[in-house]
Amino acid sequence: MDLTDVRSQIDEIDAQLLDLFGRRMALARDVAQSKLETGKAVFDPAREREKLADVAAKAPDGLQEQSVALFSLLISMNKAAQLRMINAARKDSPSHRMRASFLPLETAFPARATVCCQGVEGAYSQIAACKLFSIPSITFAPTFAGVFRAVTEGACEFGVLPIENSTAGSVNAVYDLLGSHGCSIVRAVRLKIDHNLLAKPGATLADIREVVSHSQALNQCAAYLERLGVRTTVCENTARAAELVSTSGRTDLAALSSRACADLYGLSVIERAVQDSDANYTRFAVISREPAIYPGADHSSIQLTLKSEPGALYRVLERIYALNIDLVKLESRPVPGSDFEFTFYFDLACPAVSPAFATLLDSLDDVCSEMRYFGSYTEVL
Ligand SMILES: O=C(O)C(=O)C[C@]1(C(=O)O)C=C[C@@H](O)C=C1
């Protein structure tokens, strides 16, 4: 058979399908109107079950599963359209609430600011802070929670915290604190991280029996440390590790830390860039107490806890895709204390003020049990 003939038959069928699709979607407006008037929920599980059972029963032979998948998608699009219309008419929709909580700023991101970092002088967070602000006045807190406290209590305008590493993944402790303190991400920076093996001057690789560093750095160098056959000890951060080696008086102890810390703490670099993957990057987030969107913010971060029902994540992804939003990060985490319920971190290459972002937020009610907006920001490379 001639392909051109087959294609023209396909085109004819597609034209009919498109007409029917348009007519089905147009009814979403009437359904939404009726639901707005009656207060009925957009999602009607009993009606959907009946509909899909009917579709399966009437489907052409051998196409039961495909037909159910196709109609699930049609229903999902219909619901998204209904939610868009209903939420546009409501003043308490997720996107209204989110928009009410921030004002896009006209002022540029500040060059001079008081900034809190976790750790001590030489910490990667401090290096990030110096990249983010031209004239930072930096103070240090011993823990991530201490950085959040400094920001929420007003001791510092901003905090700089590691949020994600290309080898070890999200820094969950920081995400948890973001949720519990209600701070916003207002800027981000990506740093290439080289971990170096630092020891007292005169020590050689053969002398080293123990390596101290932050757990993330130890994870990022796990294969290297295994080859060395050394004991590992966790401490608060990589700069503190260098400080510990410097004050220890031991030549069998080494730290995984930055080159800057070798100079700062009078240590020698025994081996450079010992991380398992050369492409080792960490993203640092700048947090502020008040939600603020600086000009040019083109990334947005949200956390969605999905209802534990089949296809929930698929339905979120399908909406992101349909809105032509670029998904730059997706990571899942089990919800503590739940029976394998999952929460997801999404980073979207999408400004908070874009209609696509508002539409996305307003169309998630039916699949999410909880939604949190972390902020919109520019990512500095
Ligand atoms: O019948 C409804 O109430 C609709 O909203 C329509 C529809 C559908 O697309 O068929 C969409 C959502 C509901 O959960 C059930 C069915």
Whole-number Å distance, alpha carbon 33 to ligand 1 midpoint, is: 13
Ligand 1 and 47: CB distance under 6 A: yes
Atom of ligand 1 nearest to the CA of 75: 9
* pLDDT at position 350: 92
- Do residues 222 and 284 make contact, with C-beta atoms less than 8 angstroms apart? no
Whole-number Å distance, alpha carbon 74 to ligand 1 midpoint, is: 10
Tokens standing for 117? Answer: 């970092």
* pLDDT at position 76: 85
Whole-number Å distance, alpha carbon 67 to ligand 1 midpoint, is: 17
Walk me through the domains of the chain, giving residue ranges and CATH numbers.
Answer: 1-90 (1.20.59.10), 196-271 (3.40.190.10)
* pLDDT at position 135: 94
Binned average pLDDT, 10 residues per bin, the chain of 381 residues = 94 98 96 92 91 97 95 89 81 75 80 93 91 95 95 97 88 92 94 94 96 92 96 92 95 95 95 91 95 92 88 88 91 85 93 86 83 92 82
* pLDDT at position 16: 98
